[in-house]
Amino acid sequence: MSNTSDAVLGIATEYLGPAAITLLERQTKFHLGGLSFTDIGPEHCNELSRWVGLASAMFIEQDLAEELAEKIRRLSP
């Protein structure tokens, strides 16, 4: 698992619990051109944050989803 994957997973788990990895894997697979979540780098964080923000809003409050997305976005270069 890349350093970026670790960092993103750490942030997302705080909001989504242990199932965060399931959500992140789905978002990277479908929206980052079939990329595996374990292989993502900082350059993917901006796009990933957008999709994570949208997907997580189905499970947590909108403001929290936006906060999560913002934290992931900050990992981008």
Partner 1 sequence: MADMLHSIMTKLTAGFVILVLLITALTFLFTVSASTEKIQESTKQELLALASITAADLNGDEIAKLKPGMEAEILYLMNAEQLAVMAQADHEIVKIFTVRKTGDGMEYVIDSGYNIGKRDVKIGNPVTNPTKAMGEAYTGPQAEDDFVNRPWGSVLSGYAPIKNAKGEVIGIVGVDMDAGVVQGRMNFVGQTLYIILFLGIFCAGLIIAIFSRTMIRDIHMLIESANRISRGDTDVAISIHRNDEIGELASSFKRMITSLKILMHKDYQTE
Residues that bind partner 1 (CB under 8 A): 13-20, 22-23, 25-26, 58-60
State which residue, 13 or 76, has the beta carbon closest to partner 1.
Answer: 13
Long-range contacts of 44-53 (CB under 8 A, 24+ apart): 44/4, 44/76, 45/4, 45/8, 45/72, 45/73, 45/74, 45/75, 45/76, 46/73, 46/76, 48/8, 48/24, 48/72, 49/73, 49/76, 51/27, 52/12, 52/23, 52/24, 52/27
Q: How far is the CB of 73 from partner 1 (least distance, A)?
A: 20
State which residue, 19 or 43, has the beta carbon closest to partner 1.
Answer: 19
State which residue, 20 or 45, has the beta carbon closest to partner 1.
Answer: 20
